[in-house]
Structure 1
Amino acid sequence: MDSLYLYKPSHVLPAVFAVLVGVSLMLHIYQNFRYRFWRVNFWMFWGGTIFTTGWILRCVSSSYPSNLNIYIAQTVFIYAGPPIFSAAEYNQLGRLMYYLPMHAPFNPGRTVTFFIHLGATVEGLTAAGASLFATAHGANDMQQHVTGDRLISVALALQAAIECIFIAMVGLMHYRCARAGTLPRNVRQLCIMLYGTSTFVLIRCIARAIESFETETTTTCNSICRAVLFHEWFLYVFEAAPMVFYTYWINIVHPGRLLPSDKRRYLDPDGVTERMGPMWADTRSLWMKIADPLDIGGAITGNSNSEAFWMRPSDWEVAPGGSFSEGTATNVRSKSASGTATPEELLSGSRSGAMEVQLSA
């Protein structure tokens, strides 16, 4: 039977990237246990699992290039990984907002929920479009091919827009900290990491959008179309490589080293002391919360309806174990007289974190 690829697929490169993403996945699992950061970084585990599976299937597909089922599966899994990775960023931004409530423009919990729901929409469109695209490629169904391409294009445009909004919110937090004269090293490192990883996602979105646009609208295949359709390097340079850099960057600058795992812990306006506060409290009526869940009206007018609990530092106890802003605190469970935490305690923490991941960052 004829190959479903328009080129001879490499057997080696999918295996190389499967190993690279798989190693990063193992590191994320280790660090999430070490720093007890599953509630925030669960999506790095899930996205890594999906993305690694995609490259393993790609490796198998390269040996059976005429097998439609394997071809469809590898296409869907490779497309589905990056939007899931982005969800980890949203949780990290939410945890940063809990850590710096005085600089957060919106309710941290609802902000994360907003981004997660948009991300789920991107994921659904991506999976549906990739499935239709891959199936049409094998069945030579032109209409189905166009429909799949359009769904992917919409998903890519939406994800790019979300990333731009995300970068703007990180930039706003960064700016407010700098303006207040309280930009500790841990916050600066996290912001730089989020700028960088979001840039990799945008590079991937732009490249995939070019691919989708060229394959959908070009009647005679030009040089860009040929580079996309007839050369495998485009996939590895603009899809695989940016996402590998993305996952390793978050491993190197792991947010579990920079932010507390307990979202009640916040940084005092003095930029040094950390306290255990009541978290975000929305003082508006129920119908106002429903009508404007993010309190956008308050953000526009500058009259936030959240309780400014950080203005009453004497009401809240100082957090134990030093300060993340000074690099003297850690999420690693401290040793006691009986030794370190048991594996059962760590596993229990990861299970509860996975259940609460969407709303807790």
Structure 2
Amino acid sequence: MANPTKDNLYGYDANKILPIIASVIIGISLIGHYVQNTRYKFWRVTFFMFYAGLFFCIGWVVRAISVRKPDSLPLYMISSIFIYLAPPVYSAAEYNTLGRLMHYLPMHSIINPNRIVYIFVFLGSLVEVLTAIGASWMAAGNGRQDEERLTSGATFMAIAVILQGTIEIGFIAMVGILHRRCARANMLPSNVRTLFIMLYGTSILILIRCVFRAVETFELRDILSSGEDNSNALMKREWPFYVLEAIPVALYTYWLNIIHPGRYLPHDQRQYLDFDGKTERMGPGWIHKRHWVMFIADPFDFIGMLSMKKRDPYYLRP
């Protein structure tokens, strides 16, 4: 990989071939997601995979151009921002998949599946906003040698990746609870087991990326606050970026290509798995009896729990 240098915006002699390879790899996955979403009619659940892939592909295509014009600040900023923005959007596909899996296994869900999606997507949107601010400020600060802007951008990025990592840990916990309940009830057919493995694995890949970005941004902040030369920072090395960011995210998107939720879950979210773990039935879907304001104010229906009256039953038994 490239050696550190102060002669361009990257801080190293960026490899000119790898961005092209990455663009092709992500582009193939992106086309695959478009075809799969259309074939399985699963756009409502996995549309985030398409948009995340689009962001990531744009980021790599622009990087392929940028590394040939390493002094162009606009190209550097566009590439950095889109590559930073893609992983939180990829994560949102996990949240939707878990929500649909809970619709398929409603008797084991601890909360309305739609609410799970809203909560995680809301938090993911917050991560996306922080990431957009942090990435743009870091790129601009690095390009203009503005250490104050660079430090502020690193702070926003640190908050964003820590928040995303925390969300992923919470997400894994929710998957674990659902998995445990299904295992106890002997409701783990092959399609459900496969999706659980995929959700665990893809979450770990996102966590690897979060740890890398957290270490990178905190190290940069420490170097800047100490007044040292940031040419020795992790972000001035190329190989960690490919090994700990590009590869995990590429594995993530291809894992979703191979284990596409549309292959393993019914198209209609009202269709659920019966207690025998084999029969699929059609129900009315999750029953909503509370005002939407109460869904937001009390997502877990603590009032219903305290009054010993559960007001959000998951379905009506046929």
Shorter-normalised TM-score: what interval?
Answer: over 0.9
> One-letter code of the match for 2:203?
S
* Aligned twin of 2:114: 109
Equivalent residues of 2:59, 2:83 under 8 A apart: yes
Q: CA, structure 1 residues 284+230, in 2 after alignment: closer, same or farther (shift >3 Å)?
A: closer
Aligned mates of 1:36, 1:259 — CA distance in 2: 11
Rounded to whole Å, the distance in 2 between the matches of 1:204 and 1:266 is: 34
1:212/1:290 CA distance change after superposition, 3 Å? closer
Map of 1:266 onto structure 2: 272
Relative to structure 1, the CA distance from residue 301 to residue 31 in structure 2 (aligned partners, 3 Å threshold; closer, same or farther) is farther
Q: 189, 193, 216: which is aligned to 1:188?
A: 193
Q: Report Cα offsets for 1:74-109 as digits up to 9, x if no partner.
A: 010000000010111110001001111100111111
What per-residue deviation string (whole Å, max 9, x for no partner) do you get for residues 115-147 of structure 1?
111111100110111001100111111111111
- Partner amino acid for 2:117? V
Give the corresponding residue for 2:248. 242
Evaluate the alpha carbon distance shift between residue 299 and residue 144 of structure 1 in structure 2; reply closer, same or farther with a 3 A threshold.
farther
Aligned letter for 2:106? P
The answer to whether the 8 A contact 2:11-2:231 is kept is no
Q: 2:175 aligns with which of 170, 173, 176?
A: 170
Change (3 A) 1:300 1:72: farther
Structure 1 residue 182, shift from structure 2 partner: 1.4
For 1:193-342, list aligned pairs within 5 A.
193-218=198-223, 219=226, 226=232, 228-284=234-290, 288-296=294-302, 304-310=310-316, 312-313=317-318
Match of 2:22 in 1: 17
Indicate the SS of the match to 2:67.
helix
Cross-structure match for 1:5: 10
User: Aligned-pair distance for 1:309?
Assistant: 2.9
Q: Which runs of 5+ in 2 are unaligned?
A: 1-5
Structure 1 residue matching 2:313: 3-state secondary structure: coil
Alignment gaps of 5+ in structure 1:
314-361
CA distance in 1, matches of 2:278, 2:305: 26
- Call closer, same or farther: CA 1:63–1:225 in 2, change over 3 Å: closer
Is 1:127–2:154 an aligned residue pair? no
Distance 1:302 1:163 in 2: 31
Q: Provide the C-alpha distance between the structure 1 equivalents of 2:15 and 2:141, rounded to a whole number of angstroms.
A: 22
Greater relative contact order (Cα 8 A, min sep 6): structure 1 or 2?
1
State how far apart, in whole Å, the 2-side matches of 1:37 and 1:159 are.
25
SS in 1 for 2:70: coil
Deviation readout 1:207-240 (Å, 9 max, x if unpaired)? 0000001111133769x98361332111101110
- 8 Å CA contact 1:157–1:205 kept in 2: the answer is yes
Give the Å deviation of 1:284: 4.4
Deviation readout 1:16-57 (Å, 9 max, x if unpaired)? 111111111111111111111111110000000000000011
Identify which of 97, 100, 115 aligns with 2:102: 97
How far off its partner does 1:71 sit? 0.6
CA distance in 1, matches of 2:287, 2:173: 24
Name the structure 2 match of 1:83. Answer: 88
Report if aligned partners of 2:219, 2:233 keep a CA contact under 8 Å in 1: no
Aligned twin of 2:35: 30
Q: Is the 8 A contact 1:130 1:152 kept in 2?
A: yes
The count of aligned residue pairs is: 311
Q: Tell me, in whole angstroms, the C-alpha distance in 2 between the residues paired with 1:286 and 1:49.
A: 33
* Partner amino acid, structure 2, of 1:179: R
Aligned to 2:153: 148
Normalising by the residue count of structure 1, what TM-score does the alignment of the two structures yield?
Answer: 0.81
Q: Is the 8 A contact 2:216 2:233 kept in 1?
A: no
Q: Using the alignment, how far apart are the partners of 1:60 and 1:281 within structure 2?
A: 52
In 2, Cα distance between the equivalents of 1:111 and 1:153? 25
Would the aligned equivalents of 1:227 and 1:234 in 2 still touch at CA under 8 Å? no
Structure 2 counterparts to residues 347-358 of structure 1, below 5 A: none
Amino acid at match of 2:19: P
Using the size of structure 2 for normalisation, the TM-score is 0.92
Letter of the structure 1 residue corresponding to residue 312 of structure 2: S
Separation of aligned partners in 2, 1:141 and 1:306? 53
Name the CA shift for 1:221/1:238 in 2 (closer, same or farther; >3 Å).
farther
| TM-aligned CA distance change 1:40 to 1:242, over 3 Å | same
Report SS of the residue matched to 1:63: coil
Q: Find the counterpart in structure 1 of residue 3 from structure 2.
A: none
Taking the aligned partners of 2:227 and 2:183, their CA distance within structure 1 comes to 52
